Amino acid sequence: MRRRRFLKTGGAATLAGLLAGCASPNEGSGDSTTEPSADTTAEPTTDAGTTASGDEETTTEASSSYSVSMTPVGEVEFDSVPEDIAVYMPGYADMLVALGHGDAVASVGQKARFHSHVYDELDGVGVDESAMVDLVAEGVTRETLLDVDPDLYLVDPNWLTNVFELNGEDVDFLEERAAPFLGNTIFRRTDAWHDYDYYTLYGAFEKVAQVVREQERYEAFAAFHDDFVDRLAADVPEEGPRGALVWGGSDQPEEFSPYHLSGEGANKKAFHDLNVRDAVANSDVEALSESQRSKIDYETLLDLDPEALFVRGHEAKSRAEFEDTVLAFMQDHDTASRITAVENGDVYRGGPIYLGPIQHLFLTERFATALYPESFSGELFDRDELADIVTA
């Protein structure tokens, strides 16, 4: 076997693979009628994006090697920028695209949840999905991950050992035969096994920038994001609408899995940026989590009576397609039609499960123009400026 350029140098945490109940292996199964688990509440993070300190990038002065540290794996040393990177969660793939390294993405958990269509609005930005391995389609196994043959697994190893039928020995095997692991499960915060530090979306994004040596591009992207969110904040009311976030992938949904919209996790960022209040959090409804497989019907939604209803499982649809199917069905339903959000037509696609920085900008724009049409319309950020940052 050829010599690997990337070595794990220490600081690794013990895998927690057998410490808690596993989420369903259907986690990456696409926009279907079943959402296996969700992110609700969790411990807070610092402004730097993690609850821990001291995990800065370091460079060895005597050579061109450098190292990046990220919970839970610890420090990983590189002697050059990885050219082929295996990813499970598409949010990390979006980070690589944002940093100008989309061609490094060798795999994703499932292509149907990548939602790369947003790149069509950015001149010169794109990604070749045909070259990526769809891990769920191929089977998330030791053999599949070995066949990807990457320079880095940008995957939280505890995700693999708790959600799929892999164990610590499989992770060790892959590190010895293929490449090191680095990554943190950031999209939700409800997994009992995730008893280590979390990262915010931009906290993880900064770590990925260190891996591919794109700190300046990250800083430019982060400044663009900060300006965008600050401009929105000037016209977003302090108390936005009472919203309910649910999973209901059918065109004619009759029951839903509820989330805590106010919970942490990268895929909740757009709701927080727009001050959407949580209609579920202070009710008797138990939000979907790793251990709670709760379902609610329209009677429960009517009791909650949200002013805005966000339904996940429909990102492949346009707004018009969503209105012609899901919204039309609800408006014709005896009970659903009495929910305030349905009466007013304020029912929306709920956004991706796995969210990256480019996708977050487009999703936040989509929600802002839908929720606050008196304040926002059209394009809310400069596509050319963003494309220049990504392609510079």
| Rounded CA separation 203/193 (Å) | 21
Q: Does residue 258 sit in the same domain as residue 120?
A: no
Task: Give Cα 345 distance to the centre of its chain.
Answer: 27
Q: What's the pLDDT score for residue 345?
A: 97
Say which residues have a Cβ less than 8 Å from residue 284's Cβ, sequence separation at least 6: none
Q: Are residues 192 and 239 in the same domain?
A: no
Last residue of a domain, one of 186, 208, 230: 230
Predicted confidence at residue 292, as pLDDT, reads 56
Q: Which domain holds residue 379?
A: 235-391
The domain tally of the chain equals 2
Q: pTM of the prediction? A: 0.85
Residues 127 and 209 in one domain: yes
Cα separation of 390 and 376, whole Å? 25
Backbone angles phi, psi at 131, to 5 degrees: -90, -5
The tens digit of pLDDT for each residue in 73-94 reads 999 999 999 999 999 999 999 9
What span, in angstroms and rounded, lies between the C-alpha atoms of 371 and 64?
50
pLDDT score at 20 = 29
Q: Which residues of the chain have pLDDT under 70?
A: 1-63, 287-293
Residue 56's CB is within 10 A of a number of other CB atoms, namely 10
Residues 204 and 250 in one domain: no
Same-domain pairing of 278 and 239: yes
In angstroms, the Cα distances linking 197 to 60, 107, 241 are 26, 25, 31
Do 291 and 213 belong together in one domain? no
Identify residue 362 by its one-letter amino acid code.
F
According to the model, what pLDDT value does residue 52 have? 38
251 and 223 within one domain: no
The answer to whether the beta carbons of residues 93 and 86 sit under 8 Å apart is no
Same domain, 59 and 154: yes
Question: Are 262 and 371 part of one and the same domain?
Answer: yes
The CATH number assigned to the domain holding 343 equals 3.40.50.1980
Domain boundary (162, 197, 230) is at: 230
262 and 213 in one domain? no
Residue 1 lies in a domain: no
Within-domain flag for 160: yes
How far apart (Å, rounded) are the C-alpha atoms in residues 277 and 259?
Answer: 13
Domain co-membership, 215 together with 282: no
Please report the pLDDT score of residue 49 as a whole number.
44
